[in-house]
């Protein structure tokens, strides 16, 4: 652990923001949350990526603090080579222990090869680690619901079965977003009740709450809730 870097994070501490952040992450101990805002962490990651400190920091897993994990995620985002970005993501994912760190990481290098990224996503979806699976679904939602959409991807996500809240919530979020962007292809998964009851109802709830779903679609989706 780089004590100088940790000290620097504490210099940016905002205690009110720490309390707010912790309230959103019940899986993280409060003493492991410093309270550093995301823009400050991204700025620091950009600075660190230009020298050897980033390599030393990224090799010192596991980290202690939530913000150290987020800083690690943002350093991965600075990597420009596709293979290196995937390698470092693979190395980091087993240490991710909360939804916020999981969802914030979006390496720009992934955009360089969407076909190979899809192969990697398949591996993440088959993981036994909660946040690796969540990250795979999140990446599908981020990159494959627009021009790169394929109905087969809906099937991949629908077939995931997990008792983990943070996996089920991401599946629901994925299908709610899919209903907004690919309504006709996605609707059968809801109308034919292909998801478990909790995820099915949560997907409908999130779709109804979304401004991107048409009013008439929301009205119909309400009739599909499982009681």
Return per-residue pLDDT of the chain as tens, 227 residues: 567 899 999 999 999 999 999 999 999 999 999 999 999 999 999 999 988 888 889 999 999 999 999 999 999 999 999 999 999 999 999 999 999 999 999 999 999 999 999 999 999 999 999 999 999 999 999 999 999 999 999 999 999 999 999 999 999 999 999 999 999 999 999 999 999 999 999 999 999 999 999 999 999 999 999 99
Find out whether 87 and 25 touch, Cβ atoms under 8 Å: no
The answer to whether residues 131 and 93 touch, using CB atoms and an 8 Å cutoff, is yes
pLDDT of residue 141: 98
* Both structure tokens of 36: 């550093």
- pTM of the full predicted structure? 0.95
- Please report which residue ranges of 93-150 form alpha helices under DSSP H: 99-104, 114-125, 130-143
Distances (CA, A) of 164 to 80, 130, 160, 168: 33, 7, 11, 6
Sequence length of the chain is 227
Domain ranges of the chain: 1-112, 113-227
Q: Which helix (H) or strand (E) holds 181?
A: helix 165-181
Which one, of 121, 75, 128, 140, lies nearest residue 101 by Cα? 75
CA distance 13 to 15: 6
Q: What angle do CA 40, 3, 22 make, to 5 degrees?
A: 50
Question: CATH number for the 113-227 domain, one of 3.40.50.1260, 3.40.50.11540, 1.50.10.10, 1.25.40.290?
Answer: 1.25.40.290
Tokens in use for 147?
A: 């021009």
């Amino acid at each position: 652990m780089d004590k100088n870097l940790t000290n620097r994070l504490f210099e940016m501490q905002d205690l009110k923001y720490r309390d707010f952040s912790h309230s959103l992450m019940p899986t993280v101990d409060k003493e492991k949350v410093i309270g550093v805002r995301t823009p400050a962490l991204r700025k620091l990651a950009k600075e660190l990526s230009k020298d050897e400190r980033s390599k030393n920091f990224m090799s010192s897993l596991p980290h202690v603090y939530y913000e150290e994990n987020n800083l690690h995620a943002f350093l991965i985002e600075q990597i420009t080579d596709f293979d290196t970005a995937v390698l470092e993501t693979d190395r980091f994912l087993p240490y991710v222990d909360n939804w916020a760190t999981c969802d914030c990481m979006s390496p720009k290098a992934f955009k360089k090869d969407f076909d190979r990224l899809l192969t990697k996503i398949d591996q993440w979806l088959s993981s036994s680690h909660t946040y690796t699976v969540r990250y795979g679904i999140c990446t599908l939602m981020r990159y494959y619901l627009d021009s790169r959409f394929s109905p087969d991807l809906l099937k991949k996500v629908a077939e995931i079965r997990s008792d983990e809240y943070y996996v089920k919530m991401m599946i629901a979020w994925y299908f709610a977003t899919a209903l907004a962007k690919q309504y006709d292809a996605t609707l059968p998964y809801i109308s034919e009740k292909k998801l478990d009851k909790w995820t099915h109802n949560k997907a409908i709830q999130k779709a109804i709450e979304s401004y991107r779903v048409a009013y008439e679609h929301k009205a119909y989706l309400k009739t599909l809730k499982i009681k």
